[in-house]
Structure 1
């Protein structure tokens, strides 16, 4: 039992890589294969608990759902900047460009859910443990004057690595007001962890010791964690004609500060920092239709980054002397729109097939692209194909393959607080660029068990 608990902790505290900003587009093999659309089409308990707690009222038995996926992303970080003389450390007057590929590899993505329902009861209960958010990159330091952004400090950032995950535990209750209309509520408890190297949240030391030009610039952080709380509310209408409507509102998940202990590259202790990063509020509307062998789902979501601590702020922190410290205040994300559409075809005996598509707008403005180098997980178009197969009367195997693309590069100028002026508020450096683009792929399998069967 102790080893099993350790395995669960390892699985559910592994970085989850997001698709829309830092928001996962779906949860579990069935919901992912429908493009994440589930607000008004409750095909499985995981997707339903994630997007509309009111819709779990359609499940009239005790059910369990467990999923595990293998996720691979291939971000590329590119830049155009100054060439430096290796002997003097001074700019040569030439500009160079380069590309660094991420070498993080494959990451696991787990999801667990249970629902308790009875055919003759108006009450349905659910519990879930989902990785709902995350980002992570590993861009190794490049050979000098190869890719400017990955030059050794202080000429670049050197090795760039980030690791963020958000685990959410939810307890849902749905109540049937009538045969066609249900309401639901789901309190949530969250655990988040973040690690950065180097840490842009810290003020760099601009006075390195003699003979060590790269040792005392931006420090690396340890892994800091925080607990957050929130809730989700939902409405679900299931008409006898097959049309379904759903709406849900997930409140902002409010966290305590992430408190980092920092270390310079030479091993010296750097000043501690604290950073508050909440999870944004999400408003979802859904349309569903089921008739014969067809189940159709369409969802729209609005993610409110512009009122979320850690994402709303942008620019450089200001010190007590009134000058920028070089520490970053936040990502500066704008609100995004997400559209998910899915289709399930049940015409093949014992082999329902699903097709899903997800579109997400980009939360990163070009002029602020520099601030999101540690968090490049932005996918504009995602395509999914999934299936289910009954292993027995009570046990179902589900699977999905996902492919996503950023559909172009997010790109803007390099920024430096020393270049700030009334007409250049972020310190953009002329003729420089930094950008990133990526593709993602994932294979996920899950099992659904119905205790009543």
Structure 2
């Protein structure tokens, strides 16, 4: 079939979406919250310091606003339901992915020094990561065996962990500033691998030879206007990763080293919070995520002369997080939140993102904290990513959209988050 022959020519075009599948859940490829407290607030914490993890993750200057020294531990569990459907001519099929459960650990430590102006912090966070596995499906044109013009099995996984020590300094009783480096380690697995040139018989699979390292920095400011209103701002620089090396194979099955340049984006956050109603706290964050100027993600979606995919051509986006907390009494607090993200990938580009379903737009969150001892609290959070559906045509290199074709990604996802806070 002519459509099948065209699909075989462009199979490397589709696969470039594999990189996107290390998006965990969130603002494109970034995790939108750290721990159950921050998650239950929808990720809003740039001007609302109510826990160590949320303060360290989105605005390090807010650790000066915490009431006491704190150590917080958490584990998120991500459950994703992803379905990929495609149509080419009279052929149509639908396939469910089987990524399983993805764990996301976080640790936050905040220490109030003997100098009341100085507060130290350390965050250890999973900032990005995902796993997907779409099995070969002869009835699904995009996932049909490669010999029949499809992609065959599509598999990818990733894990990015970040170590972020910070120092926050109170310039006055109302204004604090903070800064610190961000040290990141990450690993990727992509099959097939399109970020390097193909062999004579097609693209190899690729698995990171090791965990790779990167670095950046973050700065923040936190201002207490009065007893009711607070404002915050923070900037996370791009995380400049070293070039990734992957174990691959050449056309004869021998060893081959593949490479790719992939960074994490700059994030600018602005926030405000209001506590003028008895027992209530309201928070709002607005973030700018600069995918367009990030290596690998913002580079043009085109192939060079060797057949290597240059980038994904993602657009920069805005995201909004809203959260509310009600203090039932001294030992129990309940929370709710909502998160909205612009999509860096248009509906027309659904074909190029068959393995990046976690670029969601709407997420609802809730949770609570229960103080079990004078210095200990148990935290629980839950988030639901509302069903996201993107549909667009199949594209062929040099030809554009193919008539009579379509690719549809559908996804919803659940987060369960558990944690423990210990105060000093």
Regarding TM over 0.5, the answer is yes
| Unaligned stretches of 5+ residues in structure 2 | 1-21
In structure 2, how many angstroms separate the alpha carbons of the residues matched to 1:267 and 1:197? 17
Q: Is 1:121 aligned to residue 119 of structure 2?
A: no
Superposition deviation, residue 221 in structure 1: 0.8
Task: List per-residue Cα deviations over 1:6-25 (Å, max 9, x = no partner).
Answer: xxxxxxxxx77222211111
Aligned counterpart, 1:31 = 38
- 3-state SS of 1:364 partner: coil
**Normalization by structure 1: what TM-score?**
0.84
Query: Which structure has the bigger radius of gyration?
Result: 1
In structure 2, how many angstroms separate the alpha carbons of the residues matched to 1:67 and 1:267? 46
**Normalization by structure 2: what TM-score?**
0.90
Match of 1:107 among 93, 97, 102: 102
In structure 2, how many angstroms separate the alpha carbons of the residues matched to 1:242 and 1:197? 52
In structure 1, how many angstroms separate the alpha carbons of the residues matched to 2:181 and 2:106? 18
Q: Is 1:130 aligned to residue 125 of structure 2?
A: yes
Q: Is 1:153 aligned to residue 139 of structure 2?
A: no
Task: Summarize the alignment of residues 27-426 of structure 1 with structure 2, pairs less than 5 Å apart.
Answer: 27-59=34-66, 61-81=68-88, 94-118=89-113, 121-142=116-137, 144=138, 146-154=139-147, 155-205=149-199, 216-224=201-209, 225-263=211-249, 268-269=253-254, 271-291=256-276, 292-319=278-305, 325=307, 327-348=308-329, 350-407=331-388, 409-417=389-397, 420=398, 424=399
- 3-state SS of 2:142 partner: helix
Superposition deviation, residue 107 in structure 1: 1.5
Tell me, yes or no, if the aligned pair for 2:279 and 2:328 is still in contact at 8 Å.
Answer: yes
Superposition deviation, residue 32 in structure 1: 0.3
In structure 2, how many angstroms separate the alpha carbons of the residues matched to 1:184 and 1:435? 44
Aligned length: 400
> What is the aligned-residue RMSD (CA, Å)?
1.9
Aligned counterpart, 2:9 = none
Tell me, yes or no, if the aligned pair for 1:252 and 1:279 is still in contact at 8 Å.
Answer: yes
Superposition deviation, residue 271 in structure 1: 4.5
Superposition deviation, residue 199 in structure 1: 1.5
Task: List per-residue Cα deviations over 1:184-226 (Å, max 9, x = no partner).
Answer: 11211001111011122244445xxxxxxxxx43321122442
In structure 2, how many angstroms separate the alpha carbons of the residues matched to 1:366 and 1:270? 38
Aligned counterpart, 2:422 = 449
Larger deviation: 124-133 or 373-382? 373-382
Tell me, yes or no, if the aligned pair for 2:333 and 2:369 is still in contact at 8 Å.
Answer: yes
Superposition deviation, residue 381 in structure 1: 0.5
- 3-state SS of 2:39 partner: helix
In structure 2, how many angstroms separate the alpha carbons of the residues matched to 1:349 and 1:267? 68
- When residues 270 and 332 of structure 1 are mapped into structure 2, their CA distance, relative to the original with a 3 A threshold, is farther
Tell me, yes or no, if the aligned pair for 2:53 and 2:107 is still in contact at 8 Å.
Answer: yes
Aligned counterpart, 1:432 = 405
Tell me, yes or no, if the aligned pair for 1:78 and 1:98 is still in contact at 8 Å.
Answer: yes
Tell me, yes or no, if the aligned pair for 2:196 and 2:260 is still in contact at 8 Å.
Answer: no
- 3-state SS of 1:56 partner: helix
In structure 1, how many angstroms separate the alpha carbons of the residues matched to 2:197 and 2:261? 16
In structure 2, how many angstroms separate the alpha carbons of the residues matched to 1:267 and 1:247? 54
In structure 1, how many angstroms separate the alpha carbons of the residues matched to 2:132 and 2:323? 30
Superposition deviation, residue 229 in structure 1: 0.7
- 3-state SS of 2:24 partner: coil
Aligned counterpart, 1:86 = none
In structure 1, how many angstroms separate the alpha carbons of the residues matched to 2:244 and 2:403? 34
Superposition deviation, residue 318 in structure 1: 2.0
In structure 2, how many angstroms separate the alpha carbons of the residues matched to 1:392 and 1:428? 62
